[in-house]
Structure 1
């Protein structure tokens, strides 16, 4: 079943469902018809009121176990009105006397029980209905009722019988009709199911063709037309959203590679130039003056440091955008550790800090790197002997420097990857620091912003949800 195409499975399942429904309806119809025919036959048997006729028949013909040889014909007595009806009286010892019809029929124990006790205490006759089979294999429906007559001092019961073929023949005909109708219905349901499956799966076919086209050409710009608001439309919308996200991710990846290559080119070129100078000096035997050699080595060291920082930033940005592993950390402690590093990088700066306790859910390493990047920016753009103010109060971390500030038209771009202000391109850096800050803060459920400070400089603000006290167990 699983190896069949989806439309074939739908057609088979539709046909099977219709077959079950038709079979249930047909069986119910057959059983109801059988019940109605049986009740109708029983009513016709119970309409016999033949006590006077029984007495007269016995007096005229005697007690005959079987019908006489001559044909007495139907309708000899008023309660017998069809050729299919037979009647006989039954004694409790099992003997029977023919009354009417073309043949006698077997006496059963229920018949003898009625003959032995024919009347109820209130004087009404007892009765029983059952089936018997004659010697020639004919099945009869028998209705036996008690009477107030007796023969040879034994009470009598009257048994009236009609062939069960009056029920079975119409039921057999009905069964064949229902079987034919059910077969036609199932075949029609299968054909209709196949047509419906083909029509209903056209959007799925289009989706399949689109997926195959994308897999073959890697063209993520293809979109599936969305029609209606059903499940197929929702699937198409989801697929279009997925391809759009993939295209955007691929574009960002390509842009990241291009930007990284551009940023790496400058320090690598500088390194290559410096190393070539050193190599040429060794090859020609012309030593570089000590001061120039020292400056050259310092430049190599700076470029190596810049390369290491750029590679670290690229590794941070290359991490998947999925949910990070968050844990409760002390933001004030992370800020204090970042301040120690900032003081080492700006020994001539005055860094003042007011850090109130604040605990947040974040990735510790990433959060520390984000705070360090903020402080590095403040140190880098602060004038010599300047000052930096850091404040943490109720989850709001602010870093204020007194540097040149950021023009209003550049503020929307400060968190973009590899973006650098034209006035800062001569300074060390890759343009990835603030991008990493924004990503880390957003993953922790917070917000980050930059704005010009009054009197000059820039204020960086980070808001992180948390609490001023550590949760139980975090000590």
Structure 2
């Protein structure tokens, strides 16, 4: 089955809805007109002079009066329940079993459509006037039925014009309404074919189509930004990897050349060379691990759960102490929703970064009401460097001679953002730098809060 286009379906739906409305209105109009015309004839028939039976019996005759060229103008006749010959005043009417039943039932009456003996359509009112006797009074309805047929044809013609107009209007409406959708479809097809994420759709108004266009533009902008960050990450990673790889290649080439030429290196020089190779391998391992941490998407992370952030900070502090840092802590309970491993890595990076710049390696860590502060007592940072500290591979001029990949604080910013928090770095009063991490949470676990209530 071939599926019709959205424009065709919308046109058909509009035309069908209007056609149904026109058909209902036309039918209601026809029934109202028909009812009014028949009510007018019925009002003429009900005040029947046949109630004066003696007068009627004097006027009627044993033979009907022949109808004129336009049918009988009106007719009245007396009928008997036993079917004996009747008395006529005008043209003869065809008697039905219902009429004979009215003659047998005292006080009965019946309004119905019937015919004269010559077949002319009549509106007949039969009423019982005496035991075993009824009077049939009739008016011709041939012209009325002709009028109703003309009305029906006229309403049908008008309905057909209405449906045709509705179909035309539906097509025009569908074209106008779906024009923005068409532009959106062309833009999507263009992006699918060219991968040009810079394509934008003009936004006009504030209706649903405009909001859809705005959402599409925001989506393509986000995708373009993601692609740009990915390309920048690859470029920066290549740049950072080039230096240790070049150093490793140089050192390994030197070792191989000494083996191939038979001229062995001095033992101390060879030992320094191997230590340098090992350090370069360690630097590469750290850099690759940091790159993997930054490159993974949100879907690669473990599900976020409620956890005790003060316990996460304690675990990070213990790891930092194993690396030689002197950490002074002041921690208050705080419960957050996040990933324990990512947050622990972020706190550890802040402590390592602070210990790197402290002359004695001493770091102060405090947690109160969801705000974690990590302070060192180093030289601090120039004010112009503060906006760049969380950028990937950015390193201040004073830190370029120190070990590190330039990704530690970028990993911190990513982990905090995933938990819905904020992180900042500023110069502390009295010297040194202070990193501040704010995470949304509570003083008690949700389960403990429910129990206390």
Above 0.5 in TM-score? yes
Q: What per-residue deviation string (whole Å, max 9, x for no partner) do you get for residues 345-370 of structure 1?
A: 22xx5322223332221111111111
Gaps of 5+ in 2: none
Contact 1:220/1:247 (8 A) holds in 2 = yes
Partner of 2:57: 58
2:215 to 210, 214, 238: 238
Mark the CA change 1:289 to 1:333 in structure 2 (over 3 Å): closer, same or farther: farther
Which residue of structure 2 aligns with residue 79 of structure 1? none
The CA deviation string for residues 67-114 of structure 1, in whole angstroms up to 9 with x for no partner, is 26xx5979xxxxxxx933211112333446232222232143355335
Identify which range, 241-250 or 208-217, moves more after superposition: 208-217
Pick from 342, 360, 372: which aligns with 2:348? 372
Matched residue, 2:111: 129
Q: Distance in 2 between matches of 1:60 and 1:321?
A: 105
Q: Determine which structure has the larger helix proportion and give its number.
A: 2
Partner SS for 1:337: helix
Closer, same or farther: CA 95–426 of 1 in aligned 2, 3 Å: farther
Q: Deviations over 1:426-465 (max 9, x none)?
A: 2121211111111211221222111112332211121222
Q: Of the candidates 234, 249, 264, which is equivalent to residue 257 of structure 1?
A: 234
- Give the TM-score normalised by structure 2: 0.90
Equivalent residue, structure 2, for 1:117: 106
Q: Distance in 2 between matches of 1:302 and 1:135?
A: 124
- Secondary structure (helix, strand or coil) at the match of 1:455 reads coil
In the TM superposition, what is the alpha-carbon distance from 1:146 to its structure 2 partner?
A: 3.6
**SS at 1:462's partner residue?**
strand
Q: Does the Cα contact within 8 Å between 2:305 and 2:337 map onto a contact in 1?
A: yes
Q: Is 1:326 aligned to 2:304, yes or no? A: yes
Cα deviation for residue 392 of structure 1 reads 2.0
For 1:27 and 1:174, the matched residues in 2 are separated by 11
Corresponding residue pairs, total: 447
Picking from 281, 294, 297, the partner of 2:258 is 281
Give the conservation status (yes or no) of the 8 Å contact 1:89–1:156.
yes
Aligned counterparts of 2:140 and 2:343: Cα–Cα separation in 1: 96
SS at match of 1:375: helix
- Looking at structure 1, the residues matched to 164 and 149 of structure 2 have their Cα atoms a distance apart, in angstroms, of 23
Match of 1:434 among 389, 409, 412: 409
Distance in 1 of aligned mates of 2:445 and 2:105: 97
Distance change >3 Å, CA 102–CA 469, structure 1 → 2: closer
Going from structure 1 to structure 2, the CA distance change for 1:355 and 1:156 (only over 3 Å counts) comes to: same
Moved more, 220-229 or 316-325: 316-325
Q: Residues 358 and 72 of structure 1: is their aligned pair in 2 closer, same or farther, counting only changes over 3 Å?
A: closer
2:102·2:127 contact (CA, 8 Å) conserved in 1? Answer: no
Specify every segment of 5 or more residues in structure 1 that has no aligned partner in the other structure, as ranges: 75-81, 119-125
2:339 to 353, 363, 371: 363
User: Within 5 A, what are the aligned runs for 1:449-460?
Assistant: 449-460=424-435
The separation in 2 between residues aligned to 1:294 and 1:137, in whole angstroms, is: 130
3-state secondary structure, aligned to 1:169: helix
CA pair 72-162 structure 1, distance change in 2 beyond 3 A? closer
How far apart in 2 are the matches of 1:238 and 1:439?
24
- 1:265 offset after TM fit, Å? 0.9
301-310 or 189-198, larger mean C-alpha shift? 189-198
CA–CA distance in structure 1, aligned partners of residues 338 and 250 of structure 2? 43
Distance 1:164-1:72 versus aligned 2 partners, 3 A rule: closer
**Cross-structure match for 1:161:** 138
Tell me how large the CA RMSD over aligned residues is.
2.7
1:28 aligns with 2:28: yes
What is the aligned partner in structure 2 of residue 84 from structure 1?
A: 73
Secondary structure of the structure 1 residue equivalent to 2:64: coil
Seen in structure 2, the aligned counterparts of structure 1 residues 472 and 225 have a Cα distance that, compared at 3 Å, is: closer
Distance in 2 of aligned mates of 1:206 and 1:17: 28
Q: Which has the higher mean CA deviation after the structures are superposed, 238-247 or 465-474?
A: 465-474
Candidates 94, 106, 112, aligned match of 2:95:
106
On the 8 A contact 1:351/1:387 being kept in 2, the answer is yes
